[in-house]
Amino acid sequence: MSDVEKRDTVIIGAGPGGYVAAIRAAELGQSVTVIEKSETVGGVCLNVGCVPSKALINAGHRFQEAADASTFGITTQAPSIDFSKTQEWKQKKVVDRMTSGVRMLLKKHKVDVIQGEAVLDSDTKLRVVSTGPKQFMSADDGLTIEFKNLIIATGSRPVEIPGFKFDGRVVDSTGGLNLPEIPKEFVVIGGGYVGTELAGAYANLGSHVTILEGTPSILPNFDKDMVAVVLKQMKKKGIDVVTSAMAKKSVQDDNSVTVTYEVDGKEATIKADYCMVTVGRKPNTDDIGLEMTDVKTTDRGLIEVDTQGHTSVPNIYAIGDIVPGPALAHKAFFEAKTAAGAIAGNKTANDWVGVPAVCFADPELATVGLTQTEAKDKGIEVSTAKFPFAGNARAVSLDEPDGFVRLVTTKDDNHNLLGAQVVGPGASDLIAELSLAVNSGMNAEDIALTIHPHPTLSEPIQEAADIAIGFPTHI
């Protein structure tokens, strides 16, 4: 018979949502237990996702800068790369440093972390099977916890498609981040955020990359004119993009993998060193015992929640990739704080107007709130104001003049900001100001009257606002 322990706030998963929920709950005076089945904290994002991918992207940029700075009158010798050292830097100096920081924060807030796999028994109990040290387990290697409140933050995992089992030279995004060598030929199936980012990273490191995308365009969540800027750069890097392509099968040997795909009813093959599949992710809700509870899920396996993260069971909350909405770490951060606050009795709510989304392509893309198309679909009349980075002194001095800032405002004298898009240098940082403006209900005049420093990449935001209110300056 397993031991039974009573706990206050229990969190399943120590990813971006889970660990932030734990810290906030502890700050609000709750006694917190986190159950994490892996050896590390930080989840996919910190260990094998957004953080290490940005490290690899940065390495690619540095390699390219070393290879050719002739635009600035600088002559360099052809650089070489020891990819094992690149991977070591990525792991030890970036990932390990960040995960150890999270573990330190959990310890500081006196959060009890259990390494084990949690399975729900009811609306108030769960079982933990050890996946690590046994000191907290009973002799039969099990622990039953009775909880007052539960936050489920189990995240998601890559989708595997028929004919492309993750094995050997066919890898998911985790494998793509940890290749032992830079492939000469690299096939990426799926031209979404992850596929586009890693395709660009490996192209910068010297790979010839082919992207196979099933829809008519890569990055379908972004406007076509934004994607066009990325495609222009991809062409310069020699990346081949094949759209409306359906991947059929893969055959591999010790040295290569051959990918068969179909376009317009015609089959073709590509031989590569590795094939990475990034066609989406599925929520980790199918093996945690939800069927033993009254928690309701959608037909996609997502958990239904209200604006505070409550599920259909009042004392059980869900956050992150397992609930409806974009699967983004920063959204999980926000939902984590909301759920922890709700348990404490605070009037918190996930009441954002827009969640910013970023793709770290070359150049970067970012969006928040409504696009012009989305506004039209909602029956909202809007105006747009667009300022190109080609008119920005800082972007030109960086030799990165491609792209633009666009504001989407109401089509009236108020010019209320409904959305914004950025494609170009620093888009991932610039979107924060625009997210604040959208979520605060600001209008174009508020931005136009905010002095932006010169010369900086932020100026196109003010320039676009000037255009929106009818007083363009540098265009």
Residues noted as catalytic: 454
325: left (phi over 0), alpha (psi -120 to 50) or beta: left
317 among annotated binding-site residues:
no
191 among annotated binding-site residues:
yes
19 among annotated binding-site residues:
no
Give the burial string for 203-231 (b: 16+ CB within 10 Å, else e): bbbbbbbbbbbbeeebbeebbeebbebbb
Angle in degrees, CA 294, 19, 38, rounded to 5: 85
60 among annotated binding-site residues:
no
155 among annotated binding-site residues:
yes
216: left (phi over 0), alpha (psi -120 to 50) or beta: alpha
What token pair was written down for 305? 């929640």
Residue type, 159: V
262 among annotated binding-site residues:
no
Residue closest to 220 by CA, chosen among 196, 186, 247, 246 = 196
What is the spatial distance between Cα 96 and Cα 47, in angstroms, rounded to a whole number?
A: 8
Q: How far is CA 142 from CA 115, 130, 283, in A?
A: 12, 7, 25
193 among annotated binding-site residues:
yes
What token pair was written down for 454? 């010169």
Angle in degrees, CA 340, 343, 346, rounded to 5: 85
Angle in degrees, CA 351, 352, 354, rounded to 5: 150
Q: Which residues contact 288 (CB under 8 A, 6 or more apart)?
A: 12, 118, 119, 120, 152, 154
39 among annotated binding-site residues:
no
473 among annotated binding-site residues:
no
In 3-state terms, what secondary structure has residue 332?
Answer: helix
Q: Which residues contact 345 (CB under 8 A, 6 or more apart)?
A: none
173 among annotated binding-site residues:
no
- Lateral strand order in the sheet of 417-424: 357-359, 364-369, 417-424, 404-410, 382-388
Enumerate the H helices of 223-328 as residue ranges.
224-237
Residue closest to 205 by CA, chosen among 54, 82, 59 = 59
280 among annotated binding-site residues:
yes
320 among annotated binding-site residues:
no
Torsion angle of the four alpha carbons 124, 130, 136, 142, in this order, in degrees rounded to the nearest 10: 60
341 among annotated binding-site residues:
no
Annotated binding-site members: 54, 154-156, 190-197, 213, 280, 321
Q: Residues at the annotated binding site for FAD? A: 54, 154-156, 321
